[in-house]
Amino acid sequence: ANPNIAFIGLGIMGLPMATNLVKAGYQVSAHDLDPSATQRVADQGGTAATSTAEAVRGADIVITMVPDSPDVEALLLGEDGVFANAESGTLVVDMSTIRPDVSRLVAEEGAKRGLRVLDAPVSGGEAGAIEAKLSIMVGGEAAAFEEARPVFDVLGTTPVLVGPAGAGQTVKAANQLIVAGNIQLVAEALMFLEAHGVDTEAGLEVLNGGLAGSTVLTRKGEAMRNRAFAPGFRIELHDKDMKIVTTAAREAGVTIPLGAQVAQYVGALKAQGHGGLDHSALLKIVEQLSTE
């Protein structure tokens, strides 16, 4: 029989992921601080839980998908959180993007309580979550990974065990470094083409067929052309991720000059009040720095 799943955190990513598990035949007990999000999973055939404790009761696997490191610490380690309510032996899979050291901490705290914990952040964005095409970067024990694999196979196409606890987050930090830099350069190229009066639709199409092509260009190019910056992936979350990667790079003695610069731009957009926009809004920085 399929394991029972508790799914906590039903935002832009968690809601379609939980829905895909329901559609694949899993019993999903869902919970979000926003009851309307919980209800949406129930509408699809899941069970609405009014608290973390209620969601976790009877679950074999607990999946969490919340914004930031303090959210994960509160949700897993908090007084009436996941660890306080999960039965010994439960597999806890945190799919949020957080600091690697926090993932290591919660894995250690879980082990003390007889729980197994994986960090399993994802890449692929809202579209990847909806279409079940996420890339899943997993840190933890091999046996726990194998147990979670059927669930990962429902949510994505590329689950990979990359190392021990925290390693999934390290790989995700590298992912966010590449994505931010790629968005920045696509934005610069687009502004450059516009300023030269080039047909940017045709321009981006042919660029995408060559070595400059990328998922970022495919997914974000059109949004940038139209200055349509509804999220997707919010600037405030990418700011969190650039802080993770710049801190982790400094700790390791690795210099990431371009990443550090893009981190400044992402932080500036957040400071300007654009934290709720999609990360493709990095184009605004290029606009601000360019002449009319």
Strand ranges in 65-115 using DSSP code E only, listed in sequence order: 91-94
Q: How many Å apart are CA 31 and CA 22, to the nearest integer? A: 14
- Indicate the residue among 168 and 203 with the shorter CB distance to ligand NAD: 168
Task: Name the residue with the smallest CB distance to ligand NAD.
Answer: 11
Decide if 23 is catalytic: no
Q: Which of residues 80-119 bind ligand NAD (CB under 6 A)?
A: 96-97
Helix (H) or strand (E) holding 73: helix 69-77
Give yes or no for residue 188 binding ligand NAD (CB under 6 A).
no
- The residue type of 156 is G
11-36 as b/e: b if 16+ CB within 10 A = bbbbbbbbbbbbeeebbbbbbbeeee
Please count the residues of this chain forming the interface with ligand NAD, following the rule CB under 6 A: 28
Give yes or no for residue 37 binding ligand NAD (CB under 6 A).
yes
Residue 153 and residue 132 in contact, taking contact as beta carbons nearer than 8 Å: no
Q: How many Å apart are CA 251 and CA 285, to the nearest integer? A: 28
Interface residue with ligand NAD, options 21, 26, 31, 154 (CB under 6 A) = 31
- Indicate the residue among 49 and 256 with the shorter CB distance to ligand NAD: 49
Interface residue with ligand NAD, options 126, 153, 188, 222 (CB under 6 A) = 126
Give yes or no for residue 168 binding ligand NAD (CB under 6 A).
no
- Indicate the residue among 71 and 141 with the shorter CB distance to ligand NAD: 71
Q: How many Å apart are CA 194 and CA 148, to the nearest integer? A: 47
Residue 158 forms beta bridges with which residues?
135
Stretch that binds ligand NAD, among 10-18, 103-111, 200-208, 212-220 (CB under 6 A): 10-18
Give yes or no for residue 49 binding ligand NAD (CB under 6 A).
no
| Neighbour-count burial of 118, counting CB atoms closer than 10 A to its CB (0-12 exposed, 13-18 middle, 19+ buried) | buried
Give yes or no for residue 269 binding ligand NAD (CB under 6 A).
no
Q: How many Å apart are CA 170 and CA 176, to the nearest integer? A: 10
Please identify which of the residues 133, 172, 240, 284 carries the catalytic annotation.
172
- Indicate the residue among 126 and 188 with the shorter CB distance to ligand NAD: 126
| Phi and psi torsions of 141, nearest 5° | -80, 145
- The residue type of 18 is A
Nearest distance in Å: CB 221, ligand NAD: 17
Q: Which of residues 227-256 bind ligand NAD (CB under 6 A)?
A: 232-233, 237
| Phi and psi torsions of 55, nearest 5° | -65, -40
Nearest distance in Å: CB 175, ligand NAD: 9
Give yes or no for residue 13 binding ligand NAD (CB under 6 A).
yes
Q: How many Å apart are CA 145 and CA 143, to the nearest integer? A: 5
The residue ranges that bind ligand NAD (CB under 6 A) are 8-14, 31-34, 37, 52, 65-67, 71, 74-75, 96-97, 122-123, 125-126, 232-233, 237
* Residues designated as active site: 172
